[in-house]
A and B are shown apart, each in its own frame.
Chain A
Amino acid sequence: MDKIFEVRDLSYQVGETKILKHINLDIEKGKYLTVIGPSGSGKSTLMRILASMISATSGEVLFNGQAIEKFESIEYRQKVSYAFQQPTLFGKTVKDNLAFPFEVRKKDFDQAQVISYLEMVNLNETYIDKSVNDVSGGEKQRIALLRNLLFPPEVLITDEVTAGLDTENKAIVHKMLNEFNQRGLTILRVTHDESEINEATAKIEIRNGEMAHD
């Protein structure tokens, strides 16, 4: 299978603190990879490097066989999208958020497409004009994920996006991500959730900034 990411001898440090140490990792296209490890082990840092939100101190990351520095940052982040644990909703209404990916790509807002995506996460079209202050935590996370997926990237990195969600919201998020994965989206999922870890078919562990090999 083709590799979407090849991580070679990657390290990251802030001042004297080494957060990631000589990471080597290959990730295949279309994989749903679960990334586990204790808090502060460097999982999120590795994911942020893969999403080009920060740059490694040394080493190299290849995306589709090419060093990520060779890509224009904006174009790259539209291919490798990062979803945060506690997202903030922009502007005043849900529409401000769902219109943002269109604005980024200088395209007209496609209401029909947005409604079909909202339905995918059990939200109806009335949500478009809702105030961002009137949506629950679970709805907020679902709307935030839609921002990442309205123009499907090649890779979606989710950093504990189900943390703090109730069972129902978790199930909706899992269903949506599974559907996108089945359509070919590569997903890298950072999680501490026991059930997510248990059901994961592919997982890696980061411990003290290093790949754990047991």
Chain B
Amino acid sequence: MTNLTVSNSTLALGFILVLVALIIGYVEKLHIDKDIIIGVIRAVIQLSLVGYVLKFVIKANDNWLTLACFIIIVLNASWNAGKRGNGIPKAFQSSLLAIFVGTTITLATLVLTGSIKFVPEQIVPVTGMIASNIMVAIGLCYRNMKQTFTDRHQQVLEKLALGADIKLASLDILRDSIKSGMQPTIDSIKTLGLVSLPGMMSGLIFAGVDPVKAIKYQIMVTFMLLASTSIGSIISCYLGYKQFFNGRKQLNNELIS
């Protein structure tokens, strides 16, 4: 841990890097200075608060408090994923179920196999990693689903007209959407260690842990994200596609832009 030398003064000096982004934005007339400043202020405040909350939760080491953190993370991720539904009805509810089930199954597997312990310093960050990855996957699923329903609505109509059920009429779209949610995770797996040294592994190496041991954790994280994004993508897509049809199994034109 002695390698960690970040202090308030070094952080303040690190602010120079934000100035680099601001200068680029100003010189190139990108009009993103306001966004950068607000983003930086929000990040500093949010992370500081979370730091203090985590310090409290870890110190308290209480199972109920750990569960409360789990619920807050899942709810927040679901709310954000729901917003990415872009007009798809019940996007929040579908996301909540997908993120809750995906996170619970993955966490339970990790705890039951002894990969991690049910202690706040392990459960809270791992929950955050899982939920945020499912959240991103669901966002991609919804975006792909809406776009492909728009692009292929004629094909869906023809399949319905031939007497197909809504699932058979949307099967290609369903498969493509699930795939689009899982694809970034699969792509990142392929370049692990070659291009990127991901967060978990980098963090442990930073903290002075033996890189070989850090890699074992990263492998565990890889398995965990693969499972959780698969579960989240499947649940959200299977709940989401039904929203494109009404009770008479007719295509809901209002959702197709």
Contact = CB atoms under 8 A, between A and B. Distances in A.
Interface of A: 51-55, 69, 73-75, 77-78, 81-84, 86-88, 90, 100-101, 103-105, 144, 147-148
A84 B161 contact: yes
Interface residues of B, number: 17
B162 A100 contact: yes
B250 A54 contact: yes
B172 to A, nearest CB: 8
Given A54-B250, A55-B250, A69-B248, A77 B158 contact: no
A77 B248 contact: no
B159 A100 contact: yes
A81 B250 CA distance: 14
Contacts of A83: 161
A74 B159 contact: no
A74 B164 contact: yes
B164 A100 contact: yes
A53 B168 CA distance: 16
B168 A51 contact: no
A101 B159 CA distance: 9
Contacts of A52: 248, 250
B250 A77 contact: no
Interface of B: 154-155, 157-165, 168, 246, 248-251
In the complex, which of the residues B155, B160, B162, B164 has the most CB atoms of chain A within 10 Å of its own CB atom?
B162
Contact of B161 (A53, A69, A75, A103): A53
17 contacts: A52-B250, A54-B250, A55-B248, A55-B250, A73-B249, A75-B163, A77-B161, A78-B163, A87-B158, A88-B154, A88-B155, A90-B155, A100-B159, A101-B162, A103-B164, A104-B162, A104-B165
A53 B157 contact: yes
Contacts of A53: 157, 160-161, 250-251
Contacts of A55: 246, 248, 250
A11 B162 CA distance: 25
B165 A84 contact: no
Nearest to B152: A88
Nearest to A72: B249
Contacts of B159: 90, 100
B161 A82 contact: yes
Contacts of B249: 73-74
